Amino acid sequence: MWWPGTSNRGIDVETSTVIARPRTDVAAFAGHPDNVPAWYAAITSVEWRTAPVVAVGSRIAFVASFLGRRLAYTYEIVELIPGERLVMRTAEGPFPMETTYGWEALPDGATRMTLRNRGTPTGFSRWLAPFMASAVRRANRRDLARLKRVLEAD
């Protein structure tokens, strides 16, 4: 059975918003892991596992609360095009995930930020993929709305 946001391999959810700030500002703030708790409601802590530099190969540990569960995972930055795209990936835990941030400059000086989460649940979590896709979509919408409020308040 097919569910929106899912595939035979897992979930793939993409959400975007327009923020009335230049792309460089949005990318600099949203793309720096130390700022994540300011706009991701579920993230409770961030700890660098490598030197605190946003670069390919950097590793960052996050602690989050999602669907009533405490999740601890470490992302590695696997792709970085400054001001345009940041891709982080984790292979640990029951739900390996890839998160992509994309930033597009709009003609009016605003920025379209896109947040994409892809993952392939394993074991029992695999059966929860349709439910998780909806939950991730809702969380992403809330987080991007929060990021928009934070950045447009400056």
Q: What pLDDT is attached to residue 71?
A: 78
Q: What pLDDT is attached to residue 28?
A: 97
Q: What pLDDT is attached to residue 5?
A: 46
Split the chain (154 residues) into runs of 10 and give each run's mean pLDDT. Answer: 47 95 98 95 92 96 78 91 96 77 98 93 58 84 97 89
Q: What pLDDT is attached to residue 93?
A: 59
Q: What pLDDT is attached to residue 99?
A: 95
List the one residue out of 7, 21, 36, 149 whose CA is nearest residue 101: 36
Backbone angles phi, psi at 99, to 5 degrees: -120, 130
Residue 118 · residue 10 · CB < 8 Å: yes
Residue 88 · residue 78 · CB < 8 Å: yes
Please tell me the distance from the alpha carbon of residue 17 to that of residue 24, in angstroms, as a whole number. Answer: 16
Q: What pLDDT is attached to residue 97?
A: 87
Domain 6-153 = CATH 3.30.530.20: yes
Strands 10-19 and 43-48, sheet pairing: unpaired
Q: What pLDDT is attached to residue 67?
A: 64
State the pTM of this model: 0.86
Q: What pLDDT is attached to residue 3?
A: 37
Which residue pairs, CB below 8 angstroms and at least 24 apart, start in 126-133? 126/10, 129/3, 129/6, 129/10, 129/11, 130/3, 130/5, 130/6, 132/11, 132/67, 132/95, 133/3, 133/4, 133/5, 133/6, 133/11, 133/12, 133/13
Residue 10 · residue 142 · CB < 8 Å: no
Q: What pLDDT is attached to residue 27?
A: 98
List alpha helices for 40-121, DSSP H: none
